[in-house]
Structure formats: structure tokens, C-alpha cells
Structure 1
Amino acid sequence: MKLHLVLAIVLLEIVSIFGANPKIISPVGKSYHIPTVKSNWFKANSHCYNIGMRLVRISSSEEHNAVVKVIKASGYKYDNFWTSATELGNIGYYWFHSGQNLQFKKWASGQPGGKDEHCMQLSRYTNFEWHDYPCTEVTRFVCETT
């Protein structure tokens, strides 16, 4: 009986850490995961790292479409999603984990444009085109592996 209780607690802990959503392999060869928790950009980076992944980086139109498809299939299509793009400590946006400037871009009209907005989200308001937001905003995020 105690063993069943311990296993149930361990399972609940695993679901709370990794989320109920499985990792999804996309046609572009990456594995995506959308955690059940919401976080600011900094904690989202940490969360992905702690589960052996990183915040998503989008390098092409095909990749952007694959990520949007995963978002829409996740049941969280009415949320915004952090990516790893930021302009913190830099002039211009770059992918946090690689330091590479954005080559492919899918900014919504008028973006980026916020004075205190230094981190990039996929925005539900513009069919998941890119928007800059304050890094402290709490929202969903997409983790990836390659």
C-alpha cells in the first residue's frame, strides 16, 4: 500500500515537472514540448533547461509553421508563447542559446516596437506572428530539442 502511494506521488511530481503534454516530433526534426505551467521569460528558460531542452528557436518559415501547428494541437491556442529570442544586452534581437542574430523573421506589423519589451513571444492576437513583450510577463512557452 505504501509503495502504491509513493508511486502515485512520484507520478504526480513527474506530471507537474514535465507537464501532461508529450514531446512532439516535428517534420523539421525537432522535438517540441509545451509545459503546463506559465512563466516569465527567465523562468521559462530555466524550466526548459532543467528538463534537458531549451526555449524554441525558429530559423525558417517551415519551422515557424511546425511550431504553430504544435501550439494549436496543444489545447493552449488562446495563449501567447515565449521563444528564446531577446535583445537583452544587445542592440537587436538574437537567439539566446546560440547568440545568433535572427535570420528568418516573422514580426507582426509594427513589431518590434515596445520601449520596455525585450523578449519575443508568438502572439495569439496575430496568428502567432512575433511580438516583443516585457520579459517579466507570465505566459506559456515552447521547449525544444534537436
Structure 2
Amino acid sequence: MSFNMERVGALLFLTLLLCSETCSLESEDIDDVCFIRANVVSEKLDTFSSRFQLRLEDNLSAIRNTLEDTVKLLSDSLMNKESKSRDFNEDYFEEFANRASSCRRSKDLHVQLLANGEKYYFGLPPTNWLNAKGICELHGMRLVTIDSGEELEMLREAAPIKSFSSGWFWTSGSDVGSAPGTFMWANGRKVGDFAWDVNEPNDFSEEHNSCVTLRTFQEGKLEDAPCVNRGSFICELAPVCKILDMLK
């Protein structure tokens, strides 16, 4: 639009010059028509200049307002990101400090170092799965996640109880937060088929959550049971505590 207006203005200006030159040549008999035309062109040029100036001022004002709004949005966005980043860092370090503090409490437990280099705690007082989970986490540990058949057999051998009546130990596996019968470890992985006993799992239901136990008598295998049942449990060091333990 501004390009067309400039062309119109230039044409009007050239027309005015031509008319003025023509009028100046008629020195004795001045052509009134030429003067009239020149006046009309001059008025149109003045009108065009005024409109062009107003349009230019409007455009500059719009550009200025747009720039101000953009700068404000960028400034608000940056401040918001800095605030979120600051809050995240504060929350992260607070959580890390709390976990580091809980790691030191693992010394209050009789932790065993097994052949795979991992530390475990066998909790003997029978309790339900949720309480067992809380006891582990309070001491910088978590309910054990069994990653292989070798680890399963190692835990079965190290378990202090292997009787039929009480040889069940809670692990981190459960269908809490999942569909009934979909058992997940604490690390988000699905409980592998390698560990289940024959016809297991078989105790899950829409009416209650089921959790995974390690059977330590006979051949060590995994079974599921209602999480509200009472049993012993196995804890392992939480990942952050493993790191702090290595840095000692």
C-alpha cells in the first residue's frame, strides 16, 4: 500500500511542475486554466501528504505497540521460566537433602551385602505391603525389585526364614495404579514371567490390589497376594543412596 501511495505522490508532484512550467512560458497571456489545474494538483498533493503522514504515523504507532507487547510477552515468559526453574531447583535440592538424610537411617537396620554387591534388608515383623514400603523408604531404601533369576535365587538363599507358614516376603511388585493383574516393579518395568510360580499370579481382583511376594521355601518363586495381608519384606538401597554410598 505504501509503495502505491508513493507513486501517486510522485506523479502529482511531476504534474504540478509541468503545469507551473507551462504557466511561466505564457508570460503575456497567462492561462487561467493552467493555474486552476495547478491549484487542484497542489491541493491534491497537500491532501495526499496529510493522508500519507497520518497513515505513516498510524503504522509507526501500530509497530511501536506491537514491539512493546512483544517485549512484554518475552519479559513475562522469561521471568516465568526463571521462577519455575528456581522453584524446580529449590524443590529438587530439598528433596535430595531429605533423601540424603533418610539414607543415613539405613545404618539403623541390619543391612546385608550380598554377592552381587547390593545391600538388602530383610524385615521380619509381619506387616502389610503399604507399611513395608513406608518402612523401607523411611530408611533410605525401597522394596526390592528383582531383575533376574540369579538375584531371585540369591535373595531366597539369604532370607532368614524359609518355613511354609512365614516364608513370604513382600517385594516392590504390585498392580497398584495399574489394571488388576498387571504387575509392575517400582522402577516401572513389568514383572517378568521368569519369576512367577506355576499358575501365578492368581489372586488379583477388581475388589483389591494385589502385591508380589517372594516365596523363600522350597523353590523360590513369586506369587501375588492381597496387599493388605501381613508378611515379611525385603528392602534394597534406593538409587540415590547407592550413589551416596559409593561416594563414601
- TM-score bucket (shorter structure): 0.7 to 0.9
Root mean square deviation of aligned Cα:
2.0
Match for residue 144 of structure 1 among 196, 212, 236: 236
Q: Which has the larger radius of gyration?
A: 2
2:162 counterpart letter in structure 1 = K
Question: For the residues of structure 2 that align with 1:45 and 1:62, how far apart are their CA atoms?
Answer: 23
- Alignment correspondent of 1:110: 199
> What TM-score does the superposition give when structure 1 sets the normalisation length?
0.76
- Alignment correspondent of 1:77: 162
* SS of structure 1 residue aligned to 2:126: coil
Q: Is the 8 A contact 2:204 2:224 kept in 1?
A: no
Q: Return 83-92 or 117-126, whichever deviates more.
A: 117-126
Match for residue 101 of structure 1 among 184, 187, 190: 190
The percentage of aligned residue pairs carrying the same residue is 27
Q: Is the 8 A contact 2:211 2:225 kept in 1?
A: yes
1:100 counterpart letter in structure 2 = R
2:151 counterpart letter in structure 1 = E
After superposition, what is the alpha-carbon deviation per residue over 1:24-78, rounded to whole angstroms, capped at 9, x for unaligned? 111222101112322100000000011111111100111111111111xx2x222
> What TM-score does the superposition give when structure 2 sets the normalisation length?
0.46
* SS of structure 2 residue aligned to 1:83: strand
1:94 counterpart letter in structure 2 = M
Q: Return 121-130 or 53-62, whichever deviates more.
A: 121-130
More strand by share: 1
- Alignment correspondent of 1:65: 153
CA displacement at 1:106 relative to structure 2 = 1.0
* SS of structure 2 residue aligned to 1:94: coil
2:210 counterpart letter in structure 1 = H
Q: Is the 8 A contact 1:108 1:126 kept in 2?
A: no
CA displacement at 1:135 relative to structure 2 = 0.1
- Alignment correspondent of 1:50: 138
Question: For the residues of structure 2 that align with 1:107 and 1:35, how far apart are their CA atoms?
Answer: 22
Q: How many residues align?
A: 124
Which segments of 5 or more consecutive residues in structure 2 lack a partner in the other structure? 1-104, 243-248
More helix by share: 2
2:124 counterpart letter in structure 1 = T
